């Protein structure tokens, strides 16, 4: 439809021009002494339009001819960039596929084609790292560093990540410190910092980082729990020589983090050695009331710091026994509490019942110590031998 309209318009214009030309009888006189030329006005107009068009075409041809070297240079530059992009794509694809040699080759091509590309250099560094080629790894990192500030964050993150893989945690810590000093702080960086802090035993720093990750919803409580547990236990081991400091540290742990049963199980023996396990008694009882755990119940005896506390713990544990009559962990804890309160017969009965349900080295040793206290040497030796046999046979069943 549009073509038809254009066609009609052109014909109409042609008819109009023909009609105007038909009634136009003017002429143009051109005088170039001593010559004269007289032509019709219509012909002059046609010649004028044709001349202008011709000059325009000649100027366009001249301009394009003069611009040809620049256009060729642009074409070559475009081809070079296309080659660099294609090579970088191939390098990344090969890297993710684990074909490190091919990735290194393609990244080298991309770097050369792009006259130095930080991204290509970093991909080549990762490929060289995958090949365990330390020399080329360092060379490509140096090439990436030459590209200036624009690629600095990517380079430092790459160096930190690969240093962690190589277990060069001091190097990783230095690179991450550079990023932090520059004001950078994001989730991927926090994750790397948590790995470094864990490896270097920086427990307070690890706790701080894991709490930040939880705050940013990058970790759930369940995901953060193993790292937090390790950090708390590590810090508590550092404070073990100072019972007061250890007790204060335990009291300062947020209640949400104390819901980790694994933390409580590892902390109870540690607190008991420092003489402040009674601080964890209420939390232990609360967790056992919420959900029964035989392993945690086994450690309940640690919560008794004095004889009076042992009696109170014994009373509470015997109420649990009504609900858990065949729990070997609870029976073991009852036996240990009876030992503390010098209820020798009940201690023997509870420990033997626990041993009958689940033979363990620790139970044999508890009975051996009990019989040693009662000066029943033969029975003590029998349990010592049984514990040694179980240890020699690979531990408790």
Q: What is the pLDDT of residues 176-225, one digit of tens each?
A: 999 888 888 889 999 999 999 999 999 999 999 999 999 988 888 888 99
Report the distance separating Cα 197 and Cα 29, nearest Å: 98
Could you tell me if 101 and 131 are in contact, meaning their C-beta atoms sit under 8 angstroms apart?
Answer: yes
Six token digits for residue 116: 């130095």
* Residue 228 predicted with pLDDT over 70: yes
The HSE-up count of residue 132 (CA atoms within 13 Å, CB side) is 0
Work out the pLDDT band at 331, boundaries 50, 70, 90. Answer: very high
Distance CA 84, CA 288 (A): 63
- Residue 21 confidence (pLDDT) above 70: no
Q: Which residues pair with residue 168 across a beta bridge?
A: none
Cis ω before 34 (30° cut-off from 0): yes
Token pair for 107: 């990244």
The arithmetic mean of pLDDT across residues 228-240, rounded, is: 93
Q: Taking residues 322-338, what's their average pLDDT?
A: 93
Hey, what long-range contacts does 113-116 have (CB within 8 A, 24 or more apart)? 113/80, 113/81, 113/83, 113/84, 113/87, 114/80, 114/81, 114/84, 114/88, 116/143, 116/146, 116/147
pLDDT at 279: 87
Cα distances (angstroms) measured from residue 310 to each of 1, 293, 302, 303, 350 = 101, 20, 9, 8, 15
pLDDT at position 294: 92
pTM here is: 0.73
* CA 363, chain centre distance (Å): 43
CA distance 346 to 153: 67
The CA-CA-CA angle for residues 336, 339, 344, to 5°, reads 125
Q: Which two tokens stand for residue 118?
A: 């930080």
111-150 residue pLDDT tens: 888 666 788 888 899 899 888 888 888 888 888 888 777 7
273-286: per-residue pLDDT in tens? 888 888 888 899 99
Tell me: pLDDT of 93 over 70: yes
- Dihedral sign from CA coordinates of 111, 112, 114, 117: positive
396 has a pLDDT exceeding 50: no
Q: Would you state the pLDDT for residue 397?
A: 37
């Amino acid at each position: 439809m549009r073509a038809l309209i254009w066609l009609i318009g052109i014909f109409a214009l042609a008819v109009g021009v023909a009609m105007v030309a038909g009634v136009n009888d003017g002429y143009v006189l051109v005088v170039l002494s001593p010559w004269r030329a007289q032509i019709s006005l219509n012909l002059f107009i046609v010649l004028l339009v044709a001349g202008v068009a011709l000059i325009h075409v000649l100027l366009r041809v001249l301009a394009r001819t003069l611009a040809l070297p620049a256009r060729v240079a642009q074409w070559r530059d475009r081809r070079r960039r296309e080659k660099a992009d294609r090579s970088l794509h191939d390098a990344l694809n090969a890297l993710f596929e684990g074909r490190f040699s091919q990735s290194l080759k393609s990244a080298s091509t991309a770097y050369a084609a792009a006259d130095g590309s930080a991204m290509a250099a970093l991909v080549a560094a990762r490929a060289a790292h995958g090949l365990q080629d330390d020399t080329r790894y360092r060379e490509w990192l140096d090439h990436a560093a030459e590209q200036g500030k624009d690629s600095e964050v990517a380079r430092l993150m790459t160096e930190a990540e690969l240093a962690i893989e190589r277990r060069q945690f001091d190097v990783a810590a230095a690179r991450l410190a550079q990023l932090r000093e520059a004001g950078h702080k994001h989730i991927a960086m926090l994750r790397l910092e948590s790995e470094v802090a864990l490896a270097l035993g920086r427990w307070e720093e690890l706790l701080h980082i894991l709490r930040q990750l939880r705050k940013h919803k990058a970790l759930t409580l369940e995901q953060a729990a193993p790292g937090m547990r390790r950090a708390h236990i590590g810090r508590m081991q550092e404070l073990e020589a100072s019972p007061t400091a250890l007790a204060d540290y335990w009291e300062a742990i947020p209640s949400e983090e104390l819901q980790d049963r694994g933390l409580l199980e590892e902390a109870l023996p540690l607190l008991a050695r420092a003489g402040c396990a009674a601080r964890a008694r209420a939390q232990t009882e609360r967790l056992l009331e919420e959900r029964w755990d035989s392993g945690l119940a086994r450690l309940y005896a640690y919560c008794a710091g004095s004889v009076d506390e042992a009696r109170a713990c014994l009373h509470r544990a015997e109420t649990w026994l009504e609900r858990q009559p065949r729990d070997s962990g609870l029976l073991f804890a009852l036996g240990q509490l009876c030992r503390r309160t010098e209820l020798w017969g009940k201690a023997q009965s509870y420990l033997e019942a626990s041993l009958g349900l689940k033979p363990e080295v620790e139970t044999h040793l508890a009975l051996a110590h009990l019989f040693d206290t009662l000066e029943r040497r033969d029975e003590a030796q029998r349990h010592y031998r049984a514990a040694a046999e179980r240890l020699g046979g690979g531990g408790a069943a």
